Structure 1
């Protein structure tokens, strides 16, 4: 005998649609988890990673150099691995604190007025240093550029990014811009380009805008990885657009990250300036160009496609890709979390990252959700005021 299901007020699709709060938590917690998983193996090849760990990384692992992490690379004496987030998450949380101060859309001047002081005035717990320190003492050289140019050089914030190496430094912490502009990729793109102008130029700045747009697109109800890619291809310019198109077209033929590792690297290689050996960049690496792109964003989008939007395969594919995999996994983690909400992020990972890094991963999400709602309300007021003014200027178009 069959029975008729009792009608409910919402369909299964409606019940499973993440809320704004859920998407923001998913994106930010997912980004931090991806960052922590990728940090341990940053800079290595897929082959070296598999050899070191006896196979693919499937979760939180110890440092690549084990207990020699402090001395193995003197230029970067950081405790990567063991669930520690890196500068990607530190910068993301710093940008959220800027939003909490400004409580509106940001621009390059907000970076100078608020983000730079965040780096140089208030000590924070730095997981990789296992100590409280100024964030400036952990961020890498491309981010120290912000302090040198804006605090000491007094450069126009809109132009301060010119001259810095062109890398993913500005992109890696742009998820909050996409979340404040949730569902509005065009707005996220424009705002992130302005913010990133203080940090980067050329395709590094472009990637920041496109990543923010991708996060905003992932927040659309019913969004899919293919739809996110379609949205960003409508906005991306020059080599960034070409690289995303090439990588994601290749990714569409795979549903297993192991099989996709080599093909995705081959697809992005013509646009990547670093070259085959990540530790030994080519002579033309990270210089401005309209023909090239950062590697991290196209690969993150490609892994999102390969994983079908699911967090675990997207992030593990990003981690095992190697090279700058903490930033790749930060981006893919943010995108998957925005698509599916926090429930897609394995709790055993997020809980351990929070514990090991001594960070509350949910407080920044709650704060940014409040700001996003306030900014949206202001946007509505501004739009309505413009409509009234334009109507007064133009009159009724239906009148002869």
Structure 2
């Protein structure tokens, strides 16, 4: 892959994540009917001061960690980083972000270590999926490696379906980074998770719904939501649902950036995360130029409203750290590890002062407690299906099985779509 093209796609992936996060934040936890009552159809930023949430800040956190350690990343690195950059600091304005982060922090502060630190009531959340894109950027064209690395990161905070969601996103971005066709991106995501998992079933159902002909956009969005959303479930951040909706939006848009992100936003639910994932996939596939300039220009350095230690970093800083040096001298000098080693250490260089932009609020009315029992070692679990090296296979997209006929379990109860 040409270095300039790779750098452009890296910038597209991570800027696309941040744009999707900021666009979707106001619509988080809303139904489509509530979105329409407030704004009609969202076609751009509805906030006068758009900003990312924990999705962007945790993606930066994981990106910095990955840039420092590369493929040598192990669970001890991740656990130390959680302590050094988050758990052992005064909370300040940090409000805990999502449920999985709160549960993880409580367990780490109690002295629990991975994988026990991931044993809490929201280990299946989309908190790993939201920060998975940097792994696909780093392992461009190598979905299996992207999935392996994101599972190492996730072992501190997630189990089971929470890990699978992150793996699907990382692998999909890795395939998109080398220009794989839409079908190959979807196939890469499915190839790294068990085919009978909830995540795989949701992804297949959403893709199938998005591929069917629909009379209009609203009908299509309702069909994708109905394929994966569970009626009456009190939390919107479960990984199988969010990943399914994101890939459904990406498929319905045929990879187009603007359409993918807006489709995800207008479907509501965990809209910042679904739009962030759809934006990362479409941004990796099409590059930075596919992002509308006014949207891209609205994204500044993160404010640290969720993670004070990340304040001042821009997602484009992370894209630069995770991409190789341009032999012609146009790119950043040094390996990713060397560049981050000489950069600002977020544990000491960030200003944890309170800022205006809120991070995702904690909505769980009950305390998050560690659950008993041992966790599987998902960081070393082998993918259920071998993955081709997509760096050399981008020109021949792999077929996607018909999700409508591949589901292994009954369809979930559907949510009211009014």
Which among 149, 156, 175 is matched to residue 107 of structure 2? 149
Partner of 1:115: 82
Work out the CA distance in 2 between the residues paired with 1:229 and 1:18: 25
With over 3 angstroms needed to count, the CA separation of the structure-2 counterparts of 1:359 and 1:102, relative to structure 1, is closer
Q: Deviation at 1:229?
A: 0.8
Q: Deviation at 1:147?
A: 2.2
The residue correspondences of 1:210-359 to structure 2 (distance < 5 A) are: 210-221=168-179, 223-237=180-194, 238-254=197-213, 257-269=217-229, 275-277=230-232, 280-281=234-235, 294-354=240-300
Deviates more, 1:173-182 or 1:363-372: 363-372
Residues 273-326 of structure 1: per-residue CA shift (max 9 Å, x gap) = xx3346x349xx96xxxxxx6211111111111111111000000000001010
Q: Deviation at 1:27?
A: 0.5
With over 3 angstroms needed to count, the CA separation of the structure-2 counterparts of 1:334 and 1:135, relative to structure 1, is farther
Q: Deviation at 1:230?
A: 1.5
Residues 110-147 of structure 1: per-residue CA shift (max 9 Å, x gap) = 22111332224679xxxxxxxxx757435233212232
The residue correspondences of 1:99-248 to structure 2 (distance < 5 A) are: 99-120=66-87, 134=92, 136-150=94-108, 152-165=109-122, 166-221=124-179, 223-237=180-194, 238-248=197-207
Work out the CA distance in 2 between the residues paired with 1:225 and 1:98: 29
Residues 4-46 of structure 1: per-residue CA shift (max 9 Å, x gap) = xxxxxxxxxx99x971111111000000000000001100011
With over 3 angstroms needed to count, the CA separation of the structure-2 counterparts of 1:26 and 1:105, relative to structure 1, is farther
With over 3 angstroms needed to count, the CA separation of the structure-2 counterparts of 1:326 and 1:105, relative to structure 1, is farther
Partner of 1:369: 323
Q: Which structure: larger Rg?
A: 1
What is the TM-score of this pair, normalised by structure 1? Answer: 0.72
Work out the CA distance in 1 between the residues paired with 2:245 and 2:59: 20
* Preserved CA contact (<8 Å) 2:224 2:248: yes
Partner of 1:390: none
With over 3 angstroms needed to count, the CA separation of the structure-2 counterparts of 1:321 and 1:367, relative to structure 1, is same
Q: Deviation at 1:328?
A: 0.1
Work out the CA distance in 1 between the residues paired with 2:112 and 2:174: 30
Residues 221-260 of structure 1: per-residue CA shift (max 9 Å, x gap) = 3x12221112222222112111111110111125864331
Work out the CA distance in 2 between the residues paired with 1:213 and 1:118: 27
Work out the CA distance in 1 between the residues paired with 2:187 and 2:129: 19
Work out the CA distance in 2 between the residues paired with 1:93 and 1:297: 20
Work out the CA distance in 2 between the residues paired with 1:110 and 1:258: 45
* Preserved CA contact (<8 Å) 1:120 1:136: no
Higher helix share: 1
The structure showing larger relative contact order (alpha-carbon pairs under 8 Å, at least 6 residues apart) is: 2
Deviates more, 1:361-370 or 1:172-181: 361-370
Which among 36, 46, 55 is matched to residue 22 of structure 2? 36
Q: What's the C-alpha RMSD, in Å, of the aligned pairs? A: 2.9
Deviates more, 1:258-267 or 1:359-368: 359-368
Work out the CA distance in 2 between the residues paired with 1:138 and 1:354: 22
With over 3 angstroms needed to count, the CA separation of the structure-2 counterparts of 1:135 and 1:331, relative to structure 1, is farther
* Preserved CA contact (<8 Å) 1:257 1:313: no
Q: Deviation at 1:56?
A: 0.4
Work out the CA distance in 2 between the residues paired with 1:143 and 1:324: 16
Q: Which runs of 5+ in 1 are unaligned?
A: 1-13, 63-80, 124-132, 270-274, 287-292, 377-400
Q: Deviation at 1:103?
A: 4.2
Work out the CA distance in 2 between the residues paired with 1:120 and 1:370: 31
- Which stretches of structure 1, 4 residues or longer, exceed 6 Å deviation after superposition? none
Q: Which secondary structure state, in structure 1, belongs to the residue aligned with residue 323 of structure 2?
A: helix
Q: Which secondary structure state, in structure 2, belongs to the residue aligned with residue 61 of structure 1?
A: coil
